[in-house]
Structure 1
Amino acid sequence: MKRKYLWMVRRAYRALRHPKLRHRGWWRKLTQPLFERRLWKPCRDTVAVGIAIGLFFGLIPLIPQSLFAAIAAMRVKANIPFAVAITWISNPLTNLPIWAAQLWLGNQVQGLLHLSPPEFAGTFEIPGVGVVNAATFLLGVLLSGLIAALLTFPAVHLFSAIMPHHLPRLPRRHRDAVVIVPPRGSGSSGN
């Protein structure tokens, strides 16, 4: 699995640095933050943030979910491949059940807090479901994204605790760093 991940990352990295694109100034400016190597190497914290971002954008019904997840991961220094890959949790096969769960969640929260749907939000009719308010659906979308993103952190940290060799705490470069401590008695501590 690790080899497959590294193969996929190297291939994406090379495609982004293709010679036909590299000479264009706008492309270099846009992709410059993408080429930080630590954003592509998996470690516990960057993977957790990357998966949280990917889940949040994956549960929002937008077309360019992967692009938004990659930009957000780039901005907060999270693992970009995990952020982009997890957005594919919502695909044509899983969209309808996800949307139904988000609509149900929005209705439950709206009923629990005794909120009335705003007038300006449009309503639409879904065959077999009935009349649906857009604000209720949007509330369910945002809450499901937040809940999924927040549940990511304990899950990734538990996985890292159980299998530390698959998902290290820090990238190898930081983990293998040697710390030089001066011997006691040296220095200007006034001994």
Structure 2
Amino acid sequence: MLKVFGTMLHDPNLWLLNRRSAKGAFGIGLFCAFWPIPFQMALSAALAIPMRVNLPLAITTVWVSNPITMPPLFYCAYLVGSTVLGTEMSHFNFELSWAWLGQSLTTMGPAFLLGCLICSLVAGAIGYFSLELVWRWSVVKAWEERRRMKREDV
């Protein structure tokens, strides 16, 4: 499936873990986690490769949304979309049928998809900047530990 990207897969940034590639991968993975589509991992890989961020981390981070967490995440997205659009939330009974899906897309679909977009942008940004802060904090702590060890040696 990744053959489409050809030699782009040979880029070392896709496989190395550094600050830039990690925070970008984390942001992409969280962004893709809120999209109600099959193959979120493929979308994450398709974004990570041209952006030259860590591919395994981008794909793995998508699993924030898994079969257990998807219902609350998507319900939250629906709440956000309904609030932004100012529409009344409709109650529904889930049915596994094309008729129910078609009817739901026309009534709840716009609020749900807008909520997914907003939540994915916010989660991606929070993930990106949070990992930046955590990375910087760990580097500062490591330097402080080195200084402390150096002083103890003297």
Higher relative CO (Cα under 8 Å, sequence separation at least 6) belongs to 2
Q: CA RMSD in A?
A: 2.7
Q: Which residue of 1 aligns with 2:139?
A: 164
- Match runs of 1:1-191 below 5 Å: 27=3, 30-111=5-86, 126-127=92-93, 132-164=107-139
Q: Distance in 1 between matches of 2:73 and 2:111?
A: 14
Any unmatched runs of 5+ in structure 1?
1-15, 17-25, 118-123, 166-191
CA–CA distance in structure 2, aligned partners of residues 105 and 140 of structure 1: 5
Deviation beyond 3 Å, 4+ runs, structure 1? none
Identity over aligned pairs, percent: 25
Q: TM-score normalised to the size of structure 1? A: 0.61
The secondary structure found in structure 1 opposite 2:139 is: coil
Q: How far apart are the structure 2 equivalents of 1:87 and 1:80?
A: 11
Q: TM-score, normalised by structure 2?
A: 0.74
- Residues 11, 52 of structure 2: 8 Å contact kept: no
8 A contact 2:77–2:112 mirrored in 1: yes
Question: Once the 2 structures are TM-superposed, how far is the Cα of residue 157 of structure 1 from its aligned partner?
Answer: 1.3
Q: Could you say which structure has the larger radius of gyration?
A: 1
Normalized per residue, which structure has more strand?
Answer: 1
Cα distance in 2 for residues equivalent to 1:126 and 1:96: 14
Q: How many residues align?
A: 129
Counterpart of 2:43, as a letter, is F
Q: How many angstroms apart in 1 are the aligned matches of 2:46 and 2:73? A: 24
Greater share of helix residues, 1 or 2? 2
Find the aligned partners of 1:106 and 1:163 in 2 and give their Cα distance.
36
